Amino acid sequence: MTMTLGFLQSIGRVFLAFMGTAGRLSLFTISATSHCFRAPWYFRIIGRQMIEIGYYSLPVVGLTAVFAGMVLALQSYTGFARFSAEGAIANVVVLSITRELGPVLAGLMVAGRIGAAMAAEIGTMRVTEQIDALTTLSTNPMKYLVAPRLIAGVTMMPFLVFIADIIGVFGGYLVAVYKLGFNPANYLQNTWNFLEISDVISGLVKASAFGFIVTLMGCYHGYNSKGGAQGVGAATTNAVVSASILILCFDYILTEIFFAK
Amino acid sequence: MTDAPPKISLKNVKKAFGDKVVLDGVNLDVAVGESVVIIGGSGTGKSVAIKCILGLLTPDEGTIEIDGRDVLDMTPREREKLNMQIGMLFQAAALFDSLPVWENVSFGLLAEKRCGRDEARDIALEKMALVGLKPDIADLSPADLSGGMQKRVGLARAIAIDPSIIFFDEPTTGLDPIMADVINKLIVHVNENVGATALTITHDMASAKKIGDRIAMLYEGKIIWAGPPDDVDQSGNDYLDQFIHGRTTGPIKMAIRA
């Protein structure tokens, strides 16, 4: 009897903790979002964050995209060759990159690069009382720290993904033309013909949503970190892991919304 | 004292974290221009008391008034306005390491848009000179400074907004005796010449006697003694005696946890 009770208790405890976290996260999200729309805006910090997310993430996102495009071309070629559908690989590459792999891979890479950095920076500011110091200097930390990062994430991710799309398609082109012997003009024609504007737009909307998720997770875990260096480390891990899971989860949900008819 | 309401007034302030009661009904009035020092052992809730006054923590019970106004009832905007006249020196300085020293000092001025960046830099250099910092460190990152210098930068930041109330959290901890005395003199200077009301928490008795008009001892979440520094040595209070002489025997039992 006591064993069953203990078992149920532990389930209940986990459930309550989960509900508590969900509630805190919701409140944080609402408060952070509302601060994005209310003055004052710290343009200097927004600008710095935009450069950090949009510009300095370019090499790592570009590299990911080029290899994703290359491997897609190679894989679909070997797969499609079995039923002589090699001609379709241009479509496969461009659709997978713009709809899925561009935003998802960029989102995951940015989660590792930016989400972790944000959690570590804000977490350190929390444990060294810098966030308290902000409050005493009549500066709302949600406005000063969180809102600029959210704004930068939401606005810069689509640009980043747009560039990643182009680089990814180019990667597929490289493999198709120089390794698999496709005619360059034909390949480009195929890429272009089957691409619809909605494919790109849906990918960019996803990118924006992922930018929100990554920066929100980085800020939330950093903001609520406690307990010195270890706490900051845990916050960083949690920021990356939760952002990655949420990206994949929302990727499905958004795809469902866009394309399920 | 006059009829004017006390600058800071704590009435029956209680705060607990889970089961652990930290403040158990603190009552304290600080008059305008007065310098009060709260002493007490580590972990007796001194920092919690200050954080409650600053609005960083919300007490479970009781009222806190500044200039006769209940700060717990304030809207966030009013609270922000009030913070404009409060300076705070944090224990570990809590400087913003993403900003150079001068921007740290003038952060409050810039946040409140009291002046442009050029003027803010001039004011920052002026305040830095007040605490004995040379202008050549103005563009360094706070991480490049020694602990004592960081503390002085923190002090410069706290006084840069010309506050009418200023809080010091362990201002002399971690400083050599000479630097500690420099900081003590600065605090006295800020208190007397600028006319700011000061509330300091410390366990450095030498410092407490130098900077305090009044000393209050916090023990087990209550103020158990308060009086002028001259009375500290013959208070007849066993707790206070034990604390100021740093004896291990006496009514205060140090909970030594495994």
Provide the mean pLDDT of chain B.
84
Contact A201, A102 (CB under 8 A): no
Bridge partners of residue B20, in order along the sequence: B17
Among candidates A132, A138, A140 on the partner chain, residue whose Cβ is nearest the Cβ of B94: A132
Q: State the nearest Cα–Cα gap between A138 and chain B, in angstroms.
A: 5
Q: What is d(CA A203, CA A81) in angstroms, rounded to the nearest whole number?
A: 28
Q: What is the dihedral of CA B243, B246, B250, B251, to 10 degrees?
A: 30
Q: What is the pLDDT of residue A203?
A: 93
Instruction: Say if A139 is an interface residue toward chain B (CB within 8 Å).
Output: yes
pLDDT surpasses 70 at B256? no
User: In this complex, do B111 and A140 lie within 8 Å of one another by their Cβ atoms?
Assistant: no
Report yes or no on A20 lying in a domain.
no
Please report whether residue A12 resides in a domain. no
Which CATH topology does B1-80+201-258 take?
Rossmann fold (3.40.50)
- The span from the CA of A105 to the CA of A12, in Å, is 36
Lowest mean pLDDT among A7-11, A210-214, B181-185: B181-185
Tokens of B36: 């009060």
pLDDT at B258 over 50: no
Contact A88, A76 (CB under 8 A): yes
Within-domain flag for A29: no
How many residues in chain B?
Answer: 258
Cβ(B7)–Cβ(B197) under 8 Å?
A: yes
DSSP string, B36-53: EEEE--TTSSHHHHHHHH
In chain B, where does DSSP find H-type helix? 46-54, 76-83, 101-105, 107-111, 117-130, 147-160, 177-193, 205-211, 238-245
Domain that holds residue A115: 43-259
User: Residue A218: pLDDT above 60?
Assistant: yes
Sign of the Cα torsion A48, A50, A51, A56 reads: positive
Q: What is the mean pLDDT of chain A?
A: 92
Domain locations in chain B as residue ranges: 1-80+201-258
Residue A137 and residue B111: Cβ atoms within 8 Å? yes
User: Comparing C-alpha atoms, which of B40, B38, B22, B23 is closest to residue B243?
Assistant: B40
Give, as one character, the DSSP assignment of residue B5. Answer: P
- Residue A121 in contact with partner chain B when CB distance is under 8 A: yes
Pairing of strands B69-70, B222-227: unpaired
- Strand ordering across the sheet containing B8-17: B20-30, B8-17, B61-66, B69-70
How far B221 CA sits from the closest chain A CA (Å)?
22
Give every CB contact of residue B191 below 8 A, 6+ residues apart in sequence.
B33, B35, B166, B197, B198, B211
Rounded CA-CA distance B135/B125 in Å is 6
Residue A63 included in any domain: yes
Which residue has better confidence, A94 or A261? A94
pLDDT, position A25: 93
Q: How many domains does chain A have?
A: 1
ipTM over 0.90: no
**Residue B174 pLDDT more than 80?**
no
